[in-house]
Structures are given as C-alpha cells and as structure tokens.
Amino acid sequence: MALNELLQLAIEKKLFSIGLKNLQKDAKNLSQKYKQRSLKLSDEEKLAYIAMRLPATLAVMQEVFFQLNSFYQTTRIKKLLDLGSGPGTSIWAAFSNFLSLEKLTLVEQDPFFLSLSKDLSIEHPDKNKVTWTSKDLRKISDFNEFDLILLSYVMNELSHEEIKHLIEKWVKSTSELLVIIEPGTKFGFENIRAIRSQLIKNNMKIVAPCPHEEKCPMQENDWCHFYKRLERSKIHRYLKEADLGFEDEKFSYLIASKHKEKEYLARILRRPIIHKGHVQLTLCTKDGLKNEIISQKDKTHYKLAKSLGWGDVYV
Ligand SMILES: C[S@@+](CC[C@H](N)C(=O)[O-])C[C@H]1O[C@@H](n2cnc3c(N)ncnc32)[C@H](O)[C@@H]1O
C-alpha cells in the first residue's frame, strides 16, 4: 500500500469513533481559530486537524523536500530534527524523500499531538527510526547532531526574539541544512523574509526558493508564496462542505545551507501567462524581479517556458 493510503487509513481509524457531525463542528472551530491566529486548540480540534490540515501540510512538505532534492545532495541527510512536529507530518514526508535517513527526531510540547503522531505511524515501515521527544523546542541546547533542522508551520507560534535566537543557534551549529515552511500569507512571509535577512548577514546560503543571496526584491505590500494542489479525501470534503475534489494550499518556504551546491538563474513567482505567440513570466533573479516575455520565435526557451509552472526554476 502507498504511504499516503496508509496514512489516510490511519487517520480514518483514529476518527472512526467520533460522529462526523461533531467532527465538522470541531473543524469549523479550528478554521475560525486559525483565522484569528489563536493557537489554543482543544483535543477535538486537534483531531479535526489531522483530517483537514495534515494532508495539506504534508503535501507542501513533500513539495519543499522535492525542491531540496533538486538542488542538494540529500543522501548526506542521515539525521533530521523536526521542531514542533505536531501529528508527525514529517514521518510521512522525510523517509520517502531522503533515502539515506537513519534517524528522525520529533520534538513536540503538546502530549496529545505527540501521542497522535505515534498512533498514526503505527504501520509506517520506518517507524523504528523515529524518536519522539516531549519538550519545548526552545530548550533544545544545540543542533550539532543533526544534518537537517525542520520547522514546519511553527514560526508563527514563536516571538520574533525566539525566532532570532533559534536561527542564531542553527548558524553557530555544525548542522548543514535548515528548512522552514510557513503559510503562504503576508504574515507567514514576513517571518521568512526576516529569517532570510538574518541568515544572509551571517553568510549562510539560500538553496531555495531564492536563486541568490541579494536583498529580497519583493515589494513591501507583496509576499513570495507558492501553492500545492492536493486531492481532498471524502472526509476532508465533508468537513469543509466543499464541492471540489481538490484544494490549493498556499505556502512560503526557505531552505538554507552552510554551502551552496547548485546555482540557478531565476525562479517563477507567478502563474505563467500564455498569450498568442509568447509566454510571460514573472521571475525572481539576482538583479531583482523581472517580467520576461519569451517569444514563439525563440523555439527552445518558448517550449521550456510553456512547460513550466509557478514555483519552478527557469534556466
Ligand atoms: C501548526 S502545527 C505544525 C505541525 C507540523 N510541523 C506540520 O507541519 O504539520 C505547530 C506545532 O508546533 C508545536 N509547537 C509550538 N510551539 C512549540 C514549542 N515551543 N515547543 C514544541 N512544540 C511547539 C505545536 O504544539 C504544534 O503541534
């Protein structure tokens, strides 16, 4: 059975004893709390989270790990530390993307989320490589043991000072990679932008999405974000009272490393617009944002541009 099917089965098993009507009420409360950026969730809302949010954060994490695999030799990733691991999303994304991964350490302060992640992963083929740690992530003393530090949808639960301190700890450590994922909102991106500046001031390298370490060219009132399309399960559709069988999850992210491995020139920041005879791309480059028109006459680039999407790298 494919990993995603295993996880879906485990989610449905976990939710089996709760009436769907009740779960729908909890899902609505959860959405409301997210809109108000309120972080105190009831246990019932955490159960709604695994039906409604986990599939989306997992799809995004898969996409971000795919980007990392494209620009970095990930066979070197043997030990991964996931800070604020929630329902164990990374268990389902890390082993399938980093084939040499030997140890995944999850740090989570919420006992309900911690036990949920254990229950959900019971059938996962690599669960014996997972360590669950019940701890406040701010109290982890150093990151030296780990090749990759992951913070997925966590930064908005920390203060600016706490974020700065965490980044400083990573910069000073021997850990090679840092992956941060945030919601694709103006607020989520502001965290990413501030972290990026701090990293660059400390001579760290950006693996993705930025093709450079120059000042971020995004306008103050705009934000750099991407989207991942995911299928909605029956239960997911029911909870959201949605007609569509899919949704587009918006996200912002940053992958930083201590050394740069592969260079590329530009990243596509908007959906490409296909006109008659040309394709229009909005690109992030080291010389700032560029609006590139690729004419049909330039056969090679035109064919390439037509095959690419928002978030892809361009030459
Ligand atoms: C929105 S969830 C994201 C879960 C998971 N990383 C994902 O991407 O699906 C944020 C998680 O971070 C945890 N968290 C927040 N602050 C924390 C802290 N100081 N120490 C440990 N865990 C924390 C929360 O309890 C919650 O489970």
pLDDT, one tens digit per residue, over 53-92 is: 999 999 999 999 999 999 999 999 999 999 999 999 999 9
My answer on whether 130 and 160 are in the same domain is yes
Distance 287 CA to ligand 1 centre (A): 36
Give the number of domains in the chain. 2
Q: Which residues constitute the domain of residue 285?
A: 266-314
Distance 303 CA to ligand 1 centre (A): 42
My answer on whether 103 and 166 are in the same domain is yes
The closest-lying atom of ligand 1 relative to the alpha carbon of residue 110 is: 25
My answer on whether 50 and 136 are in the same domain is yes
The mean pLDDT of 222-230, rounded to a whole number, is: 96
Looking at residue 136, which CATH number applies to its domain?
3.40.50.150
The per-residue pLDDT for 85 is: 98
My answer on whether 29 and 174 are in the same domain is yes
Confidence of residue 98 (pLDDT cuts 50, 70, 90): very high
Mutate to test the pocket of ligand 1, among 137, 157, 169, 228 (most ligand atoms within 8 A of CB): 157
Residue after which a domain boundary falls, among 214, 230, 257: 257
My answer on whether 230 and 294 are in the same domain is no
Confidence of residue 311 (pLDDT cuts 50, 70, 90): very high
DSSP letters, the chain, are: --HHHHHHHHHHHHHTTS-HHHHHHHHHHHHHHHHTT-----HHHHHHHHHHTHHHHHHHHHHHHHHHHHHS-GGG--EEEEES-TTTHHHHHHHHH-TT--EEEEEES-HHHHHHHHHHTTT-TTGGGEEEEES-GGG----TT-SEEEEES-GGGS-HHHHHHHHHHHHHSS--EEEEEEESSHHHHHHHHHHHHHHHHTT-EEEES-SSSS---S-TT----EEEEEEPPHHHHHHHT--SSEEEEEEEEEEEESS-----SEEE-SPPEEETTEEEEEEEETTEEEEEEEETTSHHHHHHHHH--TT-EE-
Average pLDDT value for the chain: 95
Distance 76 CA to ligand 1 centre (A): 26
Distance 86 CA to ligand 1 centre (A): 5
